[in-house]
Amino acid sequence: MKTQRIGLTAVSGAVLTASLIASAPAAAQQPWSVSANIGAVSNYIWRGISQTDDQAAIQGGLDLAHESGFYAGTWASNVDFGDGEANYELDVYAGYDFTLPNEDFSLGLNTIYYAYPDGDSNIDFWEIGISGGYKWISAGIQYTAWGDTANEDTLFDEGDLYYSVGVDVPLAEGFGIGVFGGYYDFHNDLVPNVNADYGHWGATVTKDVGEFGSFNFTYEQNDGGDDDVWDDDAKVWVGWSKEF
């Protein structure tokens, strides 16, 4: 969730479920390639916080990629931030993955706009970021460059920083295992004398089932923040996704 979602059970897993930022579409044989993806999750968790009040979500997106490393796309999911707030999220993003002499290393730049078109509040915001990695290890920093908030002293506004790190290890028979963590450093506080900054962590097991897509089983939890702002109950969720 991304605004006064603080009192609710309030981002990946894009994606950037987590995922969205973490992975760009692979280039095909042609200079340009187009792909689509669909998925379903039992709980849409974004950066350790539920975006669906611990309910299920249907998600999907469309990606365009160039062999140079440029990519762009859009992704959508239902959300639940409470009465009067948005019912769906629509993200638009782009980025560039550099080609490095050593293929074990990776480096990329990205930008993403989080939109909530049917929400009563001004809660859209825009991030820019950088990510890199070595073999199975990856890390990134996202900076909130702009926030469409109703006032200046709130969360998910200009100046926020989000740090992330992860390790993803491929296993035999299409299985994989990963661990990840992140820390949100907000520029503003929601209310005076309340520190909303928080850390989160988790682990996931994935299974590639070929034409049927892939499945995951994930555990996530956050520390509630210094002033117990967030719901810090452990979350266990399952998901399915398929790319076309």
For 51-73, the pLDDT digits (tens) are 999 999 999 999 999 999 999 99
Residue 11 pLDDT grade (very low, low, confident, very high; cuts 50, 70, 90): very low
pTM: 0.88
Per residue, what are the HEC states of the chain? CCCCHHHCCCCCCCECCCECCCCCCCCCCCCEEEEEEEEEECCCEECCEECCCCCCEEEEEEEEEECCCEEEEEEEEECCCCCCCCCEEEEEEEEEECCCCCCCEEEEEEEEEEECCCCCCCCCEEEEEEEEEECCEEEEEEEEEEECCCCCCCCCCCCCEEEEEEEEEECHHHEEEEEEEEEEECCCCCCCCCCCCEEEEEEEEEEECHHHCEEEEEEEEECCCCCCCCCCCCEEEEEEEEEC
Question: Tokens 């990205």 — which residue?
Answer: 110
Task: Output DSSP code: residue 14.
Answer: -
Check the CA dihedral 44-221-202-142 and report its sign: positive
% of the chain at pLDDT higher than 90: 75
Domain boundaries, the chain: 5-243
Class of domain 5-243 as given by CATH: mainly beta
pLDDT of residue 14: 37
Length, in residues, of the chain: 244
Tokens linked to 4:
């006064």
Task: Output DSSP code: residue 27.
Answer: P
Residue 148 has pLDDT above 80, yes or no: yes
For 27-53, the pLDDT digits (tens) are 446 899 999 999 999 999 999 999 999
| Mean local confidence (pLDDT), 186-215 | 92
For 116-138, the pLDDT digits (tens) are 999 877 899 999 999 999 999 99
On whether the CB atoms of residues 80 and 74 are closer than 8 A, the answer is no
Beta bridge partner(s), residue 180: 166, 202
Tokens linked to 219:
């555990």
pLDDT of residue 1: 41
